[in-house]
Structure 1
Amino acid sequence: MLVDPVSSGRFARSLLDPEAPVPDGLVSHHGGAVERRFAVYRNNAAVSLVDALASIFPTVQNLVGEEFFRAMAHLYVRAHPPRSPLIFTYGEDFAGFIEQFPPAEPIPFLADVARLERLWLDSFHSADTPPLDPACLSSVPPERLEDQCFQPHPAARLLSTAHAAASITIRDRAGESLSDINPMLPEAALITRPACDVAINRLSPGGHTFFHALMAGRPLGEACGEAIKVEAESDISALLTLALTSGAFADLVDNSAKGE
């Protein structure tokens, strides 16, 4: 099939809409009818995008079943054609689509799981940068510890959800049962990529506040104080260990030195 450049926009719009007519300017190499060949091409394009969504959101598909997922994904594909030739960027607004998709209303946590899975892929494809050396604080004088600022790693992501998206995704991807999870409990998650493997870490409310402050460039002392305000029993030692070993940060900056 050949398409006139003038008709390329109509071609793209018609490709993902099974009810749209064959676009003007489309002809076969021998000048014959193209309806059947375009229908095959249209189907292959849609199926490839649905397959891409299934690979990006495996836990979402497991939660609703393959038949439901593919039907929902087909509707998404029709309404949201790709904006980039890079297929791993597709589905950035899939969670929002799920949230407005009436058949998914009985599964209110589904959109949050999709948000987490999208961040997992974003983390996986982020720039390569050496993570922070866990021993970096050993050379910092004790009186300057609270002034240390952490530079986020390009692969680090932070997400707070109204549902137990982190627990669900971690368990499902490990092939474990979800039977004892209350999906309606709010959770926060830190997504990192240590040693090239993406990891999801569940965070307490204080932990989320701690990492949110650090990733916003606030000094360690302020991050600790904010965490304790939100959750008095926050384990600062455990949170600092996670900050140093999770791959969430790439560098350390002494904020006290700025005033010297």
Structure 2
Amino acid sequence: MSVLSQSAVYAAVRDPEAPVPAGFAGDAARRFAIYRNNVAVGWIGALEARFPAGRRIVGEDFFRAMAAAFVRVRPPRSRLLHTYGDDFPDFVEDFPPAAGVPYLADVMRLEAARTRAYHAADAAPLLPEALAAVAPEAAETLRFAAHPAAAIVASPHPIVRLWAMNVGDLACGPLDDWMPEAALVVRPGLEVEVHALEAGAAAFALALLAGVPLTAAAASPDGAPAFDLAATLGLLIGAGAFARATDLSPSSSEDDHADR
């Protein structure tokens, strides 16, 4: 089979509306149509498995139609289908029929982060007692290294509660306070965990995960939402968001590093 015909076959597999490639006739054409349908069903099934909350929010028929539109333009690039769909939430955000569900893409971003966390590299999380040896004056230069599984998904919508209601972790019902919410996604051991953060705490956490020193990360710009710094730092460390903390002050030595 030539390179050109291989390209035609691949394009036809991706798009169920495309004609059967030249060279397939009779029974071969029928078998190709069955194969193409099975491939699309498999890709859509992988998205359904990865985004159960998104599927429940819009319903099975809507989700499958949306997924079918996605697989036509963005087929998998890896044989590992559990990683497929990292860019599906971006597609959903710009998918006109989903415009009436503005929080859908962010809930699905949380779900994508959970899958990445599940398959992230193993690493021992930073233990709270590891900071006991850090002098208070070192806070200005203390930096935290993110755990490989840690991620934050921020949203103007209450995505943690919306996700929890649609996976059965929280009773469904109206939300009295529709407030911005960020999801802290971690996997300190074998299980992926999701913690809710308010806007100010999320900005602080994002800065720490990006390597900003503690004091600088805690300095909120004017107008930024207030948050409880001690409680947030305690939550981040207790949840396993960091792999280590390091004092990078000029006077510090290797012995001063909190790497446990």
TM-score by length of 1: 0.88
Matched, 1:241 2:234: yes
* Distance change in 2, residues 1:205/1:109 (3 Å): same
Q: Deviations over 1:24-62 (max 9, x none)?
A: 4558xxxx6411100110110000011000011000001
Question: How much identity, in percent, do the aligned residues show?
Answer: 42
Match of 1:13 in 2: 11
Cα RMSD over matched residues?
2.3
- What is the CA-CA distance between 1:91 and the residue it aligns to? 1.0
Matched, 1:103 2:101: no
C-alpha separation in 2, matches of 1:227 and 1:127: 34
Q: Deviations over 1:196-221 (max 9, x none)?
A: 21111111122112111211212222
Q: Deviations over 1:188-240 (max 9, x none)?
A: 121111212111111112211211121121222222233897233x2222112
Provide structure 1 residue ranges, at least 5 long, that are not aligned to the other structure: none
Matched, 1:252 2:250: no
Matches within 5 A, 1:209-248: 209-226=203-220, 230-232=224-226, 234-248=227-241
* Distance change in 2, residues 1:258/1:38 (3 Å): farther
Match of 2:257 in 1: none
Give the 3-state SS of the residue equivalent to 2:129 in structure 1.
helix
Q: Which letter maps to 1:68?
A: F
C-alpha separation in 2, matches of 1:225 and 1:208: 13
Provide structure 2 residue ranges, at least 5 long, that are not aligned to the other structure: 254-260
Matches within 5 A, 1:1-260: 6-25=4-23, 33-181=27-175, 185-226=179-220, 230-232=224-226, 234-257=227-250
Q: Which moved more, 1:239-248 or 1:45-54?
A: 239-248
Q: Which moved more, 1:34-43 or 1:204-213?
A: 204-213
- What is the CA-CA distance between 1:182 and the residue it aligns to? 5.8
| Aligned residues between the structures | 253
Contact 1:159 1:188 in 2 (8 A): yes
* Distance change in 2, residues 1:183/1:142 (3 Å): closer
